[in-house]
Amino acid sequence: MKAIIEGINMLTREEAHAELGRALGFPDYYGANLDALFDLASTMTADAELNDVAVMLNALGVYGCKLVQTLFEAAQENARFTFTLRTMPDDIEEV
């Protein structure tokens, strides 16, 4: 499964976890915290990509960094889960 997580939709902690739940198809019982995020991501099969990471990090600060770290740690734990960051949309050329 390819999961596109939109950083533009992650301007508060609540919005961040709602976007993660939507993009990754988490169940209704998802606890919406970093421990629950790790528990689900470290056991699922998906190729997850976080777009507009700078927007999310600017809005969430340290918590955003912890969120990204949690997803990378889940990917290290689980070979069936990959996590990548994208800072630019595909339709913008790099100079």
Strand partners, 46: 81
For the chain, how many residues are written? 95
The per-residue pLDDT for 95 is 42
Count how many domains the chain has.
1
Whether residue 93 is predicted with pLDDT greater than 90 in this model: the reply is no
What CATH number does the domain containing 43 carry? 3.30.370.10
% of the chain residues with pLDDT over 70: 92
Chain segment 4-29, per-residue pLDDT in tens: 999 999 999 999 999 999 999 999 99
Question: Quick one: pLDDT at residue 52?
Answer: 94
**Rounded to 5, what percent of the chain is helix, strand, coil?**
50, 20, 35
Q: What is d(CA 2, CA 47) in angstroms, rounded to the nearest whole number?
A: 5
Q: Which residues, in sequence order, are CB contacts of 95 under 8 Å at separation 6+?
A: none
pLDDT confidence of residue 94: 45
- Within a domain: residue 57? yes
Rounded to whole angstroms, the maximal C-alpha distance in the chain is 44
